[in-house]
Structure 1
Amino acid sequence: MRRVMRIRWYQSDRNPHDAVAGSRQLEKSSVFEVKKMAVEKRLAFSIVQFLRDQTHCGALNSDEQESLEVAIQCLETTFKISSSDCHLAVPQPLTEIFLNSLLKNDNLTLPESSPSPEDIERAEQLKNEGNNHMKEENYRCAVECYTKAIDLDLRNAVYYCNRAAAHSKLGNYTEATGDCERAIGIDPSYSKAYGRMGLALTAMSKYPEAITFFKKALVLDPENDTYKSNLKIAEQKQKEATSPIAAGLGFDMASLINNPAFISMAASVMQNQQVQQLMSGMMSNAVGGPAAGVGGLSDISSLIEAGQQFAQQIQQQNPELIEQLRNHIRSRSFSGSAEEHS
């Protein structure tokens, strides 16, 4: 009883203004924590961009590149960020921010962050060389040229955007989205960077995100027919992705059966004796027609069984070709394939 009275006395003696002040302090603390988390995400995003740039510099061996890619994946998982989070991008590369901080705080004599006229001229030459390689479909050489141009002029959004196009042609869609992020960070009004981001995201089957970027591109360039066409394609693919049949196939069957590599592989699979027996049995049932009674059900079962057997044979014989065909179909599905480079 005495203990209860002490508690009541303590509560009644407290100043109500103190409680309000404490509540406000707690609210401010919560807002600070939210802002801090947002800053940490942007910092992590910049670090990931820096690491991606290092993988393109050409100075690392395969083991070192793999280590950086693992580090990128760990950072993205830890901070819950992805290459499509372009709202986290900052205008300046992390290296520039670091150098500017050193200049300001340590009074060090460092080279100017802006490239010299000679570097700008050489970077433009390298960009043009990269564009020529793109026309000749030498996409790896194009990536090298654009990377060298970036090394000379870090602030040119065009170089990143062009390299994104080259990466997309090679099927390196993650690298392509990373370059588009950097281009948008440097120049948020650069419509082509949004358009190419949309293409890469569509190829990665990230249709809602792709639609968002195509719409942003159209806001900046409303009369661009390429963006309009690619937006319709992404919207259509999003609808198809919700279909159980489309989700099961994972790709456009009409495009696939017209592919010469697929036809050659299918012909090889059809030599399999089990597949031939299944197909022969289906044909026999079909000839029997209505007289086969409930044979229609067995026809459907045989068709499903044959399809499963066919798919297994293809997967076992050449799984790499299936993935190549998917990438080929995706990359050829967009009107952006004929897009001019800056």
Structure 2
Amino acid sequence: MSSIKHLVYAIIQFLREQSHMDTYSSDEQESLEVAVQCLETVFQIRIEDRHLATAEPLEELFTNNFCKNDKLPLSLSSLPDNAEKAIQLKDEGNNHMKEENYSAAVDCYNQAVQLDPNNAVYYCNRAAAYSKLGKYIEAIRDCETAISIEPSYSKAYGRMGLALTAMNKYEQAITSYQKALDLEPENDSYKSNLKMAQQKLRDISSPTETGCGFDMASLINNPAFVSMAASLMQNPQVQQLMSGMMSSAVGGPAAGVGGLTDLSSLIQAGQQFAQQMQQQNPELIEQLRNHVRSRSFSSSTEEHS
């Protein structure tokens, strides 16, 4: 293994020198740097390990190591046990993702990270599994870790954008997608997700939204509001009130027997309905009242020609 480390150290030094040459494009230079990081991680070699340096030219070192044996000494069996096991766990996690068994995938990626904590892929894959489980904060944290290990990892920026979008943090999501596209300009998925996040940001900033920042669309999609509404509609008293309100609205003062036959009765029914909602969720009703007040204030201050 000592001779292999000498060879790998020489290869790393060669690749590092090549990555700084102007003859390569920026993308090619980044690829060489990533290759260096992978070799350093797998073989646990650092730039400070100067004792591994040799005066023997790389070509001769390579020939002497490979021509003495029929098989390649850098086969998977020569990798450190931890790195090899981590790769197997990553593959198992990927299979669980295909089967939509996201919790099992997280378990596999967890073990891979423990065995090889400097591999950005394992964090990024775990971020995808976390997002599928709705654990967006954990997903973002894993993407950030992956980026800290490999700053040019476009997939980590893309997956962070997905998690941020799911949390309605559209401005931050747009930044992530733009960074992903900077690194991978032809990726159609990043382009599509960026446009979607930009549209979402425009929607919440459109004139149809209220000036006080109250999001009616979010209210309608709020599980607490939906649950409260469903509970109210199961209440016989509320059902009677709603029936009366509809009868009065459709039939007017001449509505059938048992219905609401005048405007004052309709107002009274509306007040009773509001009281029922107040008992169910007083905080939500206060938000609605503030919303109505803000709309009234906005209308009263409009300039008319």
Alignment TM class, shorter chain as reference: 0.5 to 0.7
Matches within 5 A, 1:125-204: 125-204=88-167
Post-superposition, which runs of at least 4 consecutive aligned residues in structure 1 deviate over 4 A? 262-269, 289-296, 304-316
1:8-61 residue CA offsets vs partner (Å, 9 max, x unmatched):
xxxxxxxxxxxxxxxxxxxxxxxxxxxxxxxxxxxxxxxxxxxxxxxxxxxxxx
Equivalent residue number for residue 222 of structure 1:
185
Question: 1 or 2 for the larger relative contact order (CA 8 Å, sep ≥6)?
Answer: 1
Number of aligned pairs? 199
Counterpart CA distance in 2 for 1:170 and 1:225 is 25
Q: Classify the secondary structure of the residue corresponding to 1:230.
A: helix
Q: CA RMSD in A?
A: 4.2
Equivalent residue number for residue 301 of structure 2:
none
1:41-83 residue CA offsets vs partner (Å, 9 max, x unmatched):
xxxxxxxxxxxxxxxxxxxxxxxxxxxxxxxxxxxxxxxxxxx
Q: Classify the secondary structure of the residue corresponding to 1:205.
A: coil
Relative to the length of structure 1, the TM-score reads 0.48
Task: Confirm or deny: 8 A CA contact 1:269 1:314 kept in the other structure.
Answer: no
Relative distance call for 1:267 and 1:138 in structure 2 (3 A) is same
Equivalent residue number for residue 236 of structure 1:
199
Relative distance call for 1:276 and 1:164 in structure 2 (3 A) is same
Relative distance call for 1:205 and 1:129 in structure 2 (3 A) is same
Counterpart CA distance in 2 for 1:285 and 1:240 is 36
Counterpart CA distance in 1 for 2:180 and 2:275 is 42
Equivalent residue number for residue 251 of structure 1:
218
How far 1:137 sits from its partner (Å)? 2.2
More helix by share: 1
How far 1:314 sits from its partner (Å)? 8.7
Relative to the length of structure 2, the TM-score reads 0.53
Query: What are structure 1's unaligned runs of at least 5 residues?
Result: 1-91, 105-114, 317-342
Matches within 5 A, 1:43-58: none
Query: What are structure 2's unaligned runs of at least 5 residues?
Result: 1-36, 50-77, 256-260, 284-305
Q: Classify the secondary structure of the residue corresponding to 1:223.
A: coil
Equivalent residue number for residue 300 of structure 2:
none
How far 1:244 sits from its partner (Å)? 3.0
Relative distance call for 1:118 and 1:264 in structure 2 (3 A) is same
Counterpart CA distance in 2 for 1:182 and 1:227 is 20
Q: Classify the secondary structure of the residue corresponding to 2:152.
A: coil
Q: Give the fraction of aligned pairs with identical amino acids, expressed as a percent.
A: 60
